[in-house]
Amino acid sequence: MVQSRALETEGTVVTIKREERILNLLSALLAASTPLPFAEIRGRVSGYDDHASREAIEKRFDRDKSDLRKLGVPIEYIAEDEYGGSGYRVQKELYFLDEIRFTMEEGIVLAALQRAAETGAAVGEGLRSALGKIGVDSPLSEPLREWAGEQQLLDPRLPPDNRSEMNVLAALAEALAGRRPVRFSYYTLRTGTVSERTVEPWGIGYFHGNWYLVGRDRDKSEERVFRTSRIGGEVQPQAAEDYEIPADFNLRDCVGVPPWRYRDGPAETVTIRFAPDIAWMIEDNLQSGQSFEAAPDGSGILRLEVTEPAALIPFVAQYGPDAEILGPAAIRDRIHRHLLEVISRCES
């Protein structure tokens, strides 16, 4: 409780500013473990301890109490608590915000934003400061935060002519609302090539930090999912057509499915071993259809169903030597050959 009296210098009382007095009152109410009666506030809380009359100090207290309530501070009067006391208290359960807890995915997004702010992105000083403060609550260790920031900023999978993703999303949303097919260049991760696609948009969804377009690929005559960050150049709306979106279409059935399950057909169980430094992170972020077995040394085995083995490449490669595909041998060898080809192209 703030109990310092008004300062007196050679008989003159030093007046406390209104803002400071109100903060002193709030501090006293928050610090009190039991309801605080006006009799204790008067004469003990700085700003209410001068030589004014009881009536004047009570009016001052009522004004300050009203101002705090207008600011959203939930002050209530307790006529009698369990110990027989009465007085004023702040409802702390309503006043204090819940503790911030970030998921691993949110921690990675936060790391990317912080990294962007540090490298000269056009963000205000207020946002840069806020990112630094909330970053203290990140579940990622410092090395992982640095890694996540670099990976998100320097994503080699994006085509070189990729324009602002927000512009892409705006064009896709407009086309979807007007039932207009769109044409765009798309980078296919599996083949490493860019091709032209003509798509009838069915829906746009967000999952794990990425936006996705779901629609019918006219060239392939089948439903496809496109990650919008891999759309390059401009999205070109085509002539308006009254195409139909299937009545049984559900965006949630398409967005949120891991890329290694995009294709229909029989699935294979792939086993991946993760080193102790990151095994806990994998275990904390299991998705439907995955299982994890922890080992005594802190490492762990992830088992997941796969219909599109090539889509596992970026998932495994991002962990470097901390991830090892144990089987099946055919998938392990296929991904190993692909990574060797990538290294060879980079070296040349």
Model-level pTM? 0.39
Find tokens 């109490």 and name the residue.
65
Name the 3-class secondary structure at 4.
Answer: coil
Domains of the chain: 8-95 (1.10.10), 104-153 (no CATH), 165-256 (2.30.30), 268-347 (3.30.70)
- pLDDT digit string, tens, across residues 202-251: 888 877 667 889 999 998 888 888 888 888 888 998 887 778 888 888 87
Least confident of 20-29, 143-152, 247-256: 143-152
Identify the residue with better confidence: 261 or 4: 261
Find tokens 């900023």 and name the residue.
153
Find tokens 């169980």 and name the residue.
269
Find tokens 């996705």 and name the residue.
212
Distance, in Å, from the CA atom of 201 to the CA atom of 204, rounded to the nearest integer, reads: 8
Q: Give the H or E element holding residue 342.
A: helix 329-347
Q: Is the pLDDT of residue 100 over 50?
A: yes
Q: Is the pLDDT of residue 180 over 50?
A: yes
Give the pLDDT mean for 76-85: 85
% the chain with pLDDT above 70: 75
The mean predicted confidence, pLDDT, of the chain is 78
- pLDDT digit string, tens, across residues 241-280: 778 888 888 877 777 677 777 666 678 889 999 999 888 8
Distance, in Å, from the CA atom of 199 to the CA atom of 225, rounded to the nearest integer, reads: 10
Give the pLDDT mean for 287-300: 86
Q: Is the pLDDT of residue 304 over 50?
A: yes
- Beta-strand runs (E) in 4-72: 8-9, 12-13
Q: How many residues does the chain have?
A: 348
How many other β-carbons are positioned within 10 Å of the β-carbon of residue 103?
Answer: 12
Amino acid residing at 82 = E
* Confidence band of 184 (pLDDT split at 50, 70, 90): very high
DSSP 224: E
Give the pLDDT mean for 3-11: 44
- Beta-strand runs (E) in the chain: 8-9, 12-13, 75-78, 87-90, 182-188, 193-207, 210-217, 222-227, 231-237, 268-274, 290-294, 300-306, 323-327
Distance, in Å, from the CA atom of 304 to the CA atom of 282, rounded to the nearest integer, reads: 12
Got the DSSP string for 230-264?
A: GEEEEEEE-----PPPPTT--GGGTTTS-GGG-S-
Q: Is the pLDDT of residue 11 over 80?
A: no
Identify the residue with better confidence: 320 or 153: 320
Least confident of 7-16, 159-168, 197-206, 313-322: 7-16
Say what the pLDDT of residue 263 is.
Answer: 67
- pLDDT digit string, tens, across residues 104-143: 666 666 666 666 666 554 456 666 676 666 666 666 555 5
Least confident of 43-47, 303-307, 336-340: 336-340
Distance, in Å, from the CA atom of 25 to the CA atom of 41, rounded to the nearest integer, reads: 8
- Give one word for 209, left, alpha or beta, with left for phi > 0 and alpha for psi -120 to 50: left
